[in-house]
Amino acid sequence: MDIELSNEDLEFRNEVRAFFEENAYKNGEDFNKWRMDWFAKAREKGGWDVPKWPKEFGGPGWTPTQHYIWEQETATANLPWDLPFGLGMLAPVLMAHGSKEQQDRFLPDIRDRKVNWCQGYSEPGAGSDLAGLKTKAELSADGTHYVVNGTKIWTTMAHIADWIFCLTRTDDSGIKQQGITFLLFPMKQEGIEVKPIITLGGSHSVNTVFLTDVKVPVENRIGEEGQGWTYAKGLLQHERTGLAGISRSLVALEKLKEQAASVPRGNATLMDDPAFRGKIAELEVDLWATEYTELRSLASAAAGAAPGPESSILKLKGTEIQQRIQKLTVEAGGIYSASWGAKPAGPAFAKNGMGGYMSSRAYTIYGGASEVQKDVIAKNVLQIKRSSK
């Protein structure tokens, strides 16, 4: 997709590229020192370390086009790793619903990457049906703290997290969306046990978290008791927009084309095969259409609007596109993709392609399964009401 960039936008893009090049990791450097120095220098640029934060909280206050340029450039640049839970998910909730004391307490450490956070949402039997959660938080008799008991599952990076933002049930007398309370508490305390879950791709990123009589001070509650569902929905919209990964998919698709062009097919290559080329073209059209939706969402955000139901469209289509790229990568690797768990054979990309494909099965499940996104789109975009029959 090509968009018309003004001279100011072109200057901004050149500035971003120059910054990435000047501060790129050099072989032999202490990685952790380089990582923290990179964020410090990005902060000096005027909030580049927190590109999605609003200006009043130290963000850069970019235009939609500048955000678009940043996403495009970061998809190909060698940047330090960053976890999204504190910066992109909890921070907006704190900014919108946290007290001044909570903002002053938590936001600086989130920005400085001093604290790793994880998300305590899904539970056994309450994954995509998030409002069906059963983890209990009971207020103590003196009203100073909650006692939390329950189980969270698919908790990404819980094994390295310092804190968790957690949905708990404080009242079950009404409909299931009521009586949910948003709590923050440290992971390294008595009563919390983390057990790993090894995914289909062979990696350890998700976990089960068992909570037994965990004490949480009342001052660690975000907003009002029983209003957690409202806060959670806003957080999910930020999460779903981030999970779409449009810019990364644009880069991955170009890489796939290069890989397919290296695979012999008779006197030509796989990219010359009409059937395979047709799959690539169909995928590319869908990706461009999804990118336009992302740009519209960026424009709305720049105008001050909160993420809306279009985040479900982005999450639905974006994750499906990621899966299709992984599937075509396996197809391009052919029989050699089957050697992913052993010594590589055939094209160099074949082994990683199968691992990526296996891991990508979860893309349309976490952050709200595709069925949930379709329900959100039907109700809030298409205005289709559920039948009373």
Q: Tokens 């994954």, residue? A: 127
Q: Tokens 């968009």, residue? A: 3
Answer for the pair 366, 353: CB distance below 8 angstroms, yes or no.
Answer: no
What DSSP letter does each residue of 335-376 carry, written as one string? Answer: GGGGGTTSS--SSTHHHHHHHHHHHHTTTTTTTS-HHHHHHH
Helices (H), 87-224: 91-97, 100-111
Torsion of CA 350, 280, 244, 295, to 10 degrees: 140
Partners of 378 in the β-ladder: none
C-alpha 61/C-alpha 304 separation (Å) is 11
**Backbone phi, psi, residue 53, to 5°:** -80, 145
Q: Which of 71, 225, 239, 310 is catalytic?
A: 239
C-alpha 389/C-alpha 376 separation (Å) is 20
C-alpha 86/C-alpha 58 separation (Å) is 15
Tokens for 138, please give them. Answer: 């009971």
Rounded to whole angstroms, the maximal C-alpha distance in the chain is 80
**Backbone phi, psi, residue 212, to 5°:** -130, 110
Question: Would you call 239 a catalytic residue per the annotation?
Answer: yes
C-alpha 381/C-alpha 310 separation (Å) is 8
C-alpha 70/C-alpha 311 separation (Å) is 19
C-alpha 175/C-alpha 179 separation (Å) is 8
Please identify every residue annotated as catalytic. Answer: 239
